[in-house]
Amino acid sequence: MISYTETNNIAYVTLSRPEKQNALSVDMFVGLDNAIKTISKNKAIRAVVIQGEGAHFCAGLDVKSVLKKPTGILKLLRKWLPGNANLVQRVVLGWQSLPVPVIARITGNCLGGGCHIALGADIRLADNSAQFAIMEAKWGLCPDMGASLLLPASMNKDKALMMTIHAQRIDAQSALKDGLISELCDDIDTRLDQLLCQFSNRSPDAIAAIKKVYNQAYNQPSRKLLWLETWSQIKLLVANNTKIAMSNASSTEQQPYQPRKKW
């Protein structure tokens, strides 16, 4: 369900589950992780394009698919050391570790986990059909895919808080205004081709050096934040208010929340 191809030294990583709007299964997380590893070993690659097959980039996590096997959640969240990135964090932050430009080509829905994956790209191109949302708060959870390291480089704190707490969709115009995307394109494929051509005409060593320097300048220290994301999510997964939030999200009858725990 992850298609990987190379054309003219450009790696194309495609979320290929169009009948589900490319919603993420455990196998797709593994496929994305493997694609990042494959690209990291190929010094001939000059740029990477992440895209969705069909009209949508990605509708987020396929919860039913993940919950079919009890080991699914464990596979996504487990880590050997607290500060290490787990699988869901690697498929976001892994693009940052590549010494080449990574472009997310975004059309249609770019929601939840799909939005996090797009945040991992260096450049986000979107057309007018694109809609964005970070959805975890709707279910009583917190974002835990590494976005805490990346959002400060793109969005002001107030905009990031509003987007993550509201858990509501925003359109492409709002995403551009808030700094979530790099460019809003009338013809996304023409603009993508222009960028890929420009990158191919630059020294690969210069690009690698520039990306390394700017990653250091813009990104937060990672290990403490990665553990805080995962530990917060674990605490929320067993909290009573999370059960209430999940019930409220799928029902017209809204239950009152209990007093919050000490955080």
User: With 80 as the cut, is the pLDDT of residue 221 above it?
Assistant: no
| Each residue's pLDDT tens digit, 38-54 | 999 999 999 999 999 99
| Each residue's pLDDT tens digit, 64-77 | 887 777 777 778 87
CATH top-level class of 2-200: alpha beta
Q: What is the pLDDT of residue 6?
A: 98
The answer to whether 33 and 2 are in contact (CB under 8 A) is no
49, 35, 30: which is closest to 100 by C-alpha? 49
Q: Are strands 109-111 and 170-171 parallel, antiparallel or unpaired?
A: unpaired
Mean pLDDT of 124-135: 97
User: With 90 as the cut, is the pLDDT of residue 63 above it?
Assistant: no
261: which residues sit within 8 A by CB, 6+ positions away?
235, 239, 241
93/40 Cα distance (integer angstroms): 13
| Residue extents of the structural domains in the chain | 2-200
Under the banding of pLDDT at 50, 70 and 90, the label for residue 109 is very high
